[in-house]
Structure 1
Amino acid sequence: MLAMNKIKILGTTAFVIAASIVITSCKDKRSTGWEYAPNMYEHKAYEYDQPNDNFKNGQTAQTPPAGTIPVGFKRFDYPNNKDGYEKASLEVKNPLPLTSNNIEDGKKLFTTFCSPCHGVNGQGDGTVVQHGYPPPPSYSKGQSSRGGAMKDLTDGKIYHTITYGVNAMGSYASQVAPEERWKIVMYVHHLQTL
């Protein structure tokens, strides 16, 4: 009799557990069960364009305080004018070491961003010239529109031009990171000798 009661108790317990599993699993077909770290997929943060009562102006996206610099951003405190160009020529030097890897990286970056206008060898014969656009000057034989020979351009002048652009060339500051610009500068110096 004692054995029968144990079997009934175990059987009833197993039935209750099985029934509760079945009932709870059928509750919501979209539910994945227990949630682990729900804050990773249920956003509690405001989107940048949503109204936000936490600020006086009611906007989520706030203007950064004056003088702040974004993470990973490097300042280039030379204005986009002739004086800034000349000052950069005198003061700005390439901080990267002159290595074959940096020159090879510079060649790849030049081929991607610069060769459509300047040509693969920097002679001003890129594909855009074949479509009727005016050719940029050759790095080894041409004259700069700002004065002087292209073969004499310094680190600072080339970097300034990549950062701000000149004439028909627009700024590449948003497409090419500062370190990548320095690698392009190294490769342009190589092209100046061709």
Structure 2
Amino acid sequence: MLAMNKLRILGASVAAIAATVLITSCKDKRSTGWEYAPNMYEHIAYDPDQKNPNFADGKTAQVPPNGTIPVGFVKFDYPKTKEGYELAGAEVHSTLPQTQANYAEGKVLFMHFCSPCHGETGQGDGLVVQHGYPPPPSYSKGQSSRGGAMKDLTDGKIYHTITYGNNAMGSYASQLSPEERWKVIMYVHHLQTL
């Protein structure tokens, strides 16, 4: 009797497994089967490039309202003109503390972003220049294309140039945050004395 029950249980188990295999083999082969936490891959939020019926223009990616400033963003209200450059030179000053850590980070940032053109010592002899591009002026001996000696450039003038670029130098506003720009300027002031 005990053996008969074991055979029935074994037979029922084999039949259940066979039925499961048969049923699951008929499904789409690309299906992963059970859905666990479907909200992880079937999100309800719209992608930025999708149409969105919630807005009048049908776009998901909306322009921020006029006059708003992103959190943590520091507004630089000096235009990309000669007058804006001169005004920034007179009014803009670094508020970053003159610490050894800031200076060291400024040196690292300068070596990564600026030295390919300006050279490691700021003499305008970087690798880009060695490949035939025109050299930027030396920080300690050169003359600015906007007038005046490079060694006399103020915080605001250097900040304006990093933000907007000048001549062959493009803007580095997307590569360097405002705080990083001030650290680079701290190191450039050191190079102006060499």
Q: Shorter-chain-normalised TM-score: which range?
A: 0.7 to 0.9
Correspondence for 1:154: 154
1:44 is matched with 44
Deviation per CA, 1:45-82, whole angstroms, max 9, x where unpaired? Answer: 11112112221112222222111223332211111111
Q: Which amino acid aligns with 2:63?
A: T
In the alignment, structure 1 residue 125 sits paired with structure 2 residue 125: yes
Partner of 1:7: none
Match of 1:99 in 2: 99
TM-score, with normalisation over the residues of structure 1? 0.82
1:165 Cα deviation after fit: 0.5
Equivalent residue for 2:10?
none
Q: What is the aligned partner in structure 2 of residue 84 from structure 1?
A: 84
Q: 1:93 to 1:36 in 2, by over 3 A?
A: farther
Q: Which moved more, 1:39-48 or 1:29-38?
A: 29-38
Are residues 20 and 76 of structure 1, via their aligned partners in 2, closer, same or farther at CA, if it must alter by over 3 Å?
A: farther
Residue 28 of structure 1: how far off its partner (Å): 8.4
Residue 72 of structure 1 corresponds to which residue in structure 2? 72
Residue ranges of structure 1 left out of the alignment (5+ in a row):
1-13
The residue type equivalent to 1:167 in the other structure is N
Q: Map Cα deviations across residues 87-114 of structure 1 (whole Å, 9 max, x no partner).
A: 1111111121111111111111111110
**1:1-194 equivalent positions in 2, closer than 5 A:** 37-194=37-194
Q: What's the CA shift for 1:164?
A: 0.3
Q: CA RMSD in A?
A: 2.6
Moved more, 123-132 or 19-28: 19-28
CA distance in 1, matches of 2:158, 2:37: 50
Q: Distance in 2 between matches of 1:173 and 1:99?
A: 23
Amino acid across the alignment from 2:55: F
Output one character per residue of 1:6-65: Cα deviation in whole Å (capped at 9) or x when no partner. xxxxxxxx99x9999999998888777775643232221111121122211122222221
Q: Which runs of 5+ in 2 are unaligned?
A: 1-12
Classify 1:158/1:25 alpha carbon distance in 2 versus 1 (closer, same or farther; 3 Å): same
| Amino acid in structure 2 at the alignment position of 1:70 | P
Deviation at 1:154, TM superposition (A): 0.7
Match of 2:156, SS state, is helix
TM-score when normalising by structure 2: 0.82
Letter in 1 for 2:88: A
Q: Percent identity?
A: 73
Q: 1:180 to 1:24 in 2, by over 3 A?
A: farther
